[in-house]
Amino acid sequence: MMETSEILKKVRKIEIKARGLSANIFAGQYHSAFKGRGMAFSEVREYQYGDDVRDIDWNVTARFNKPYVKVFEEERELTVMLLIDVSGSLDFGTQKQLKRDVVTEIAATLAFSAIQNNDKIGVIFFSDKIEKYIPPKKGRKHILYIIREMLDFHAESRRTDLAQAVEFLTSVSKRKCTAFILSDFYARQDFLQQLTIANRKHDVVAIQVYDRRACELPDVGLMKVVDAETGYEQYVDTSSRKLRDTYHRYWLNRQAELKETFAKCNVDSVSIATDDDYVKSMLGLFKQRG
């Protein structure tokens, strides 16, 4: 467990980076990609040529004996939920960072983008159970608390159950929200049904963070591999071309299945490697939705 001073130092470092990204890069893109709940009545004004007659306020029109129309504006305020995977498989990284570090940075940037748009932000930490729920609130103090939790949170379980996490989102969020699932999506259970139901009620976005070694094994001879979630260990001979090809095909098939699941649920998604420029990837996602 990190010392308090070390945590605060890391929180400050992430805050500076995330605030800079959200203010200078993400702000406009985030606003256009994630719309408010709908249109809210703002005021009335006199009817002008070209106005939709369906917007005429007949009560005001009768009172002043000339036509008035209702003016609506977008309800901008959103509730944003971050579903953050805290299972054991996130503690892995062979490139620049661990998957957990990248998830934390992306989540922090999304959080600061949210409060710059006056949105509430909440968090669900999940493994194969709901580890912690932080209800949505506004403000910098709330976001710094979230970042601190992300940096120093220790899950009780190392396994993953995405279905349960998504089901919890549906039950706990009564009003429509925008929900980002940040995970490597190493789920042993099918979550198609739960994700479909959640995306009918909410606007769900999937952000997959993975490491390059998940795609291809290096040719380094005999190597011990450990399943981070079950603790199962075995030795594999990575000098075998057949083994490396089989491993790579497994990754491709798994990604294809994941992509198909998101398509069936109508969920927008992006896959980001630990050594990728996640800013570029996220902006691509925002542009796709804009």
Q: Tell me: the pLDDT tens digits for 49-99? A: 878 888 898 998 998 899 988 876 555 568 999 999 999 999 887 777 899
All structural domains of the chain, each given as residue ranges with its CATH number in brackets, are 4-33+77-289 (3.40.50.410), 38-75 (no CATH)
The per-residue pLDDT for range 259-275, each reduced to its tens digit, is 999 999 999 999 999 99
Q: Does pLDDT of 225 surpass 90?
A: no
User: What does residue 42 show for φ and ψ, rounded to 5 degrees?
Assistant: -115, -55
Bridge-partner residues for 198, per DSSP? none
List C-alpha distances in Å: 59 to 54, 159, 251: 13, 60, 63
- Terminal CA-to-CA distance of the chain, rounded, Å? 41
Q: Write the Ramachandran bin of 14: left for phi over 0, alpha for psi from -120 to 50, otherwise beta.
A: alpha
**189 contact partners, CB below 8 Å, separation of at least 6:** 161, 162, 163
- In the structure encoding, which two tokens stand for residue 219, read together? 């040719």
Contact 247, 217 (CB under 8 A): yes
Rounded to whole angstroms, the Cα distance separating 19 from 4 reads 22
Q: What is the pTM of this model?
A: 0.81
Rounded to whole angstroms, the Cα distance separating 11 from 148 reads 6
